[in-house]
Amino acid sequence: MKVLVADDDPGSLLVAKAAVDRSGHECLTATDGDEAWAIFLEHQPDVVVTDWMMPGRDGPALCRAIRARDTDLYTYIVLLTSQGSRDDVLAGLQAGADDYVTKPLDPFVLHTRLLVAKRVTTLHADLAHYRKILSQQARTDPLTGLNNRLKLTEDLTQLHVRSRRYQEQYCIAMCDVDNFKSYNDIYGHQAGDQALQAVGAALADVARSSDGVYRYGGEEFLLILPNQSPHGAKNMLERALHAVQALNITHSGDPTGHLTLSAGISAFTPGHHPDADTVLGDADAALYTAKATGRNRVALAP
């Protein structure tokens, strides 16, 4: 572990550092609260052992500053104090400390606190890891591995706000696999799932790294294209349609004999400021136009 010891008393600081070193941990030291805070921000230690009374930030103030940070990383805090009254102990714990040790410091006592700190910080690291995995799973379509509608809502909201603020343009493309119901009826749902996976992968291959590709639902996919003009978006979606055709997925229920894709595009441009839901609805209407005029094509919203 990385342990920060903050104490303005040189003797106490030396004893604490020796105890940390003997416990096999990396030790950082600070001689006042402000220096301790600067070191904390730079190195993100796993454990902070801090004196109560110090120049600059005192121990409780340092505790509160650490706890106020919005992060998945957990820092275990041990407060060193010569003030052993119940009220003082309670005040330290309320400020964010996990434990306290009275002075003069006993190296054995600090060693035992570090053992506890190791267990607690490891547990918090595991929980943060699993929270991250669950968050990713909640935003991922399990069939295609693409982003899902929850992630779409988050990304589109963020992009729309940024585009309004900086007068930037973006496009949305709503895509739908043509005659997919008949494909499922003819070839079965397992083949349908495989076809959706292949189409999703083809769209992801065509998209830029800055674009967002989402499974919108059923056989529908959606692309968010930041800083893209309607003309550029149309060219990209035409490449996407060709990429789907190049998969050569046989579909006897489609006039072309193969699985194809239709797409509708809408744009948010400077000087034209609909809300994000309107831009999304315009893309859906443009998709309907592409379907109504023969499928296997791209339509732009007016």
Same domain, yes or no, for 129 and 181? no
Same domain, yes or no, for 134 and 165? no
Instruction: For residues 284 and 227, give the distance between their C-alpha atoms in angstroms, rounded to a whole number.
Output: 20
Say yes or no to pLDDT of 88 above 90. Answer: no
User: Which amino acid, one-letter code, is at 219?
Assistant: E
Q: By the 8 A CB rule, do 148 and 139 touch?
A: yes
Give the tokens for residue 274. Answer: 């609909």
Answer yes or no: is 181 within a domain. yes
Instruction: For residues 107 and 113, give the distance between their C-alpha atoms in angstroms, rounded to a whole number.
Output: 10
- Summarised one tens digit per residue, pLDDT across range 1-40 is 999 999 999 999 999 999 999 999 999 999 999 999 999 9
Our count of domains for the chain comes to 2
Which residue blocks in the chain are alpha helix, DSSP H?
A: 10-22, 33-43, 59-67, 86-95, 107-138, 149-166, 180-187, 189-206, 230-245, 276-292
User: Which amino acid, one-letter code, is at 179?
Assistant: N
Residue 255 φ/ψ, nearest 5 degrees: -55, -30
* Collapsed DSSP state (helix, strand, coil) of residue 145: coil
Q: By the 8 A CB rule, do 26 and 3 touch?
A: yes
Instruction: For residues 253 and 185, give the distance between their C-alpha atoms in angstroms, rounded to a whole number.
Output: 9
Same domain, yes or no, for 190 and 296? yes
Instruction: For residues 149 and 47, give the distance between their C-alpha atoms in angstroms, rounded to a whole number.
Output: 39
Its domain, for residue 258, covers 149-300
Average pLDDT, the chain: 93
The domain that holds 233 is classified in CATH as: 3.30.70.270
- In Å, what is the CA distance from 97 to each residue of 67, 78, 105? 9, 6, 17
- Summarised one tens digit per residue, pLDDT across range 139-159 is 999 999 999 999 999 999 999
For residue 272, count other CB atoms closer than 10 A to its CB: 9
Strand partners, 145: none
pLDDT at 285: 96
- Summarised one tens digit per residue, pLDDT across range 229-277 is 999 999 999 999 999 999 999 999 999 999 999 999 999 988 776 899 9
CA angle 65, 69, 73 (to 5 degrees): 120
Q: What percent of the chain has pLDDT over 90?
A: 83
pLDDT at 73: 85
**Pick from 138, 172, 188: which residue ends a domain?**
138
CA-closest candidate to residue 141, choices 77, 80, 212, 52: 212
- In Å, what is the CA distance from 296 to each residue of 42, 202, 212? 55, 15, 22
Least confident of 95-104, 146-155, 183-192: 95-104
Answer yes or no: is 178 within a domain. yes
> Cα 90 to the chain's mean position, in Å?
36
Burial 251-267 (b: 16+ CB within 10 A, else e): bebbeeebbbbbbbbbb
Answer yes or no: is 143 within a domain. no
Same domain, yes or no, for 187 and 133? no
**Pick from 77, 105, 138: which residue ends a domain?**
138
Strand partners, 6: 30, 50
Q: Write out the catalytic residue numbers.
A: 219
> For the whole model, what pTM was predicted?
0.69
Instruction: For residues 279 and 161, give the distance between their C-alpha atoms in angstroms, rounded to a whole number.
Output: 13
